[in-house]
Amino acid sequence: SPYLVVGIDNTDLRNADYTVDVDSSYGGGNGDTYLSFIVDIAKPVIESTFRTRCGPRNTALAGSSLGGLITIDALTQYPEVFGRYGCLSSSIWWNSRSVLTRVENFLESDPGLGPDGPDVRIWIDGGALENGVSPRESTLATVLRNNRSLLELLTDAGMEIGTQVGYYEDLEGGHNESSWANRLPEVLTFLLSDTDYELEDAQAINATVLGGYLYADASPMTSHLIATAQFADGARITWPVAYWDVSSQDSGVLTISTETGEVHAEGGGTGRIDLVAGEAEATLEIPIAAQTVVTDFWVTVPGGSSPSTVRIAGSAPALGSWDPRGFTLSYQGGNVWAASVRLELGSTLEFKVTRGSWATVERTAQGADISNRTAEINGDDVVVTVAGW
């Protein structure tokens, strides 16, 4: 059957409309009235105007950011109206995560949302690159920490991942419309179908350790394992590490908590993590430097070029392992850009200067390609002059 999509335009009052309580820094608090408008005014008009099914099984509410937050509150206030909830990059942080208390109180009222309860599905997701986290960082984004807290409340109440809860941690996702649009197929696949997903039925595993590298003598010494199951119909669901069959070799190089997924460097070398789900397997190899040193890069760009960003891309994991987005330098004035990067002591670095892509990589003054630059990493500054782009 076709689906009827109703988009309610947001306004300058979105902070108020999408929040049920006041945040000391942002105000808000008109969310109860907004939800009442949807349930008591908008929904009856739609149902009296269009041919549509009206029950909770056939009624969904979804939103992103603050829109995801108000969708969570709709679960606690109108479970008899909505049976499907899409919560993308939800602003759970609002008012010191007060929504988690409301969810906890709602679940303690025993709404019967376990596997034998009503037909309810909720989708929760977020991006690893939200909250200012870069691709080379081992930091777990705040949105993911908050989502995990919400997920724990729901699963402790008996709701099951893959059947009632769709959960996804997007490794490339930022806090923006393009990331939410990219995830929309997963959201709709889960919410609008009756398919139950079991971890042991995974066709493939997409796993990573955030940042992709560790150091044994300095930050980042700790990171986080994220593992997502991919299914035959294209669905992708992230299960917490505690649900997986996880093992680690080279115990002298790294350790991993099979409960939280936290990975810690113990010594130099290459750490290995193996994951298994049914017939699917994945192996991760994490480079760990035993000794590191902070290296200062000084880059002079051509006069008059005025680039908005200058970056170093190179062979070291800290520079993105040849990701052209590399490591971002800071403008120092004039034509000079600089950055301090911790790298493996005694290593030989190959690198180039870019403006964020290989289409904007440094060239000769005549526009010809240049060979990779090299530098011995021993604590000395690396000084570079770019001839052209």
- CATH (domain of 265): 2.60.40.1080
Contacts of residue 358, defined as CB under 8 A and 6 or more positions apart, other chains included, come to 324
Q: Which of 249, 273, 289 is the last residue of a domain?
A: 289
Considering the chain, what percentage of its residues have pLDDT values greater than 70?
A: 99
Give the residue numbers spanning the domain of 357: 292-385
Beta strands in 94-135 (DSSP E): 121-127
The size of the chain, in residues, is 389
- CB under 8 Å to 229, separation ≥6 — which residues? 197, 199, 202, 204, 205, 236, 237, 238, 239, 277, 280
Distances (CA, A) of 222 to 255, 285, 293, 309: 10, 15, 18, 29
CATH number of residue 350's parent domain: 2.60.40.10
Strands laid side by side in the 311-314 sheet: 327-328, 311-314, 348-354, 373-376
Looking at the structure, tell me whether residues 162 and 209 fall in a common domain.
no
- Cα-Cα-Cα-Cα torsion 178, 183, 188, 193, nearest 10 degrees, comes to 170
**Number of folded domains that form the chain:** 3
Q: What's the pLDDT score for residue 116?
A: 76
Residue 1 lies in a domain: no
Report yes or no: 319 and 304 within 8 Å, Cβ to Cβ: no
Do 270 and 299 lie in one domain? The reply is: no
Q: How confident is the model at residue 30 (pLDDT cuts 50, 70, 90)?
A: very high
Strands 269-277 and 245-249: antiparallel
List residues bridging with 264 in a β-sheet. Answer: 222, 255
With respect to residue 334, please indicate whether it lies within any of the assigned structural domains: yes
210 and 153 both lie in a single domain: no
Amino acid identity of 237?
I
For residues 254 and 263, the answer to whether their CB atoms sit within 8 Å is: yes
Domain assignment of residue 238, yes or no: yes
Query: Which of 289, 310, 338 represents a domain boundary (last residue)?
Result: 289
Same-domain pairing of 23 and 158: yes
Residues 184 and 70 both lie in one domain: yes
Examine the domain organization and report whether 85 and 148 are in the same domain.
Answer: yes
Q: Check pLDDT > 90 for residue 117.
A: no
Q: What is the pLDDT of residue 250?
A: 65
- Confidence band for 123, pLDDT divided at 50, 70 and 90: very high
- In eight-state DSSP terms, residue 58 is G
| Distance separating alpha carbons of residues 201 and 280, to the nearest angstrom | 8
How far is residue 339's CA from residue 331's CA, in Å, rounded to a whole number? 9
pLDDT at 306: 76
> Would 6 be classed as within a structural domain?
no
Residue 305 sits in the same domain as residue 267: no
Structural domain includes residue 266:
yes
pTM (whole model) above 0.75: yes
Looking at the structure, do residues 84 and 227 belong to the same domain, yes or no?
no
Co-location of 65 and 142 in the same domain: yes
Please give the pLDDT value at position 298. Answer: 98
Residue 149's nearest CA partner among 240, 235, 70 is 240
Q: Is 102 exposed, middle or buried (0-12, 13-18, 19+ CB in 10 A)?
A: middle
Q: How far apart are the first and last CA of the chain?
A: 54
Residue 24 in this model has a pLDDT that exceeds 90: yes
- Predicted confidence (pLDDT) at residue 46 exceeds the cutoff of 70: yes
pLDDT-derived band at 136 (thresholds 50, 70, 90) equals confident
Q: Among the three residues 139, 171, 196, which one is the final residue of a domain in this structure?
A: 196
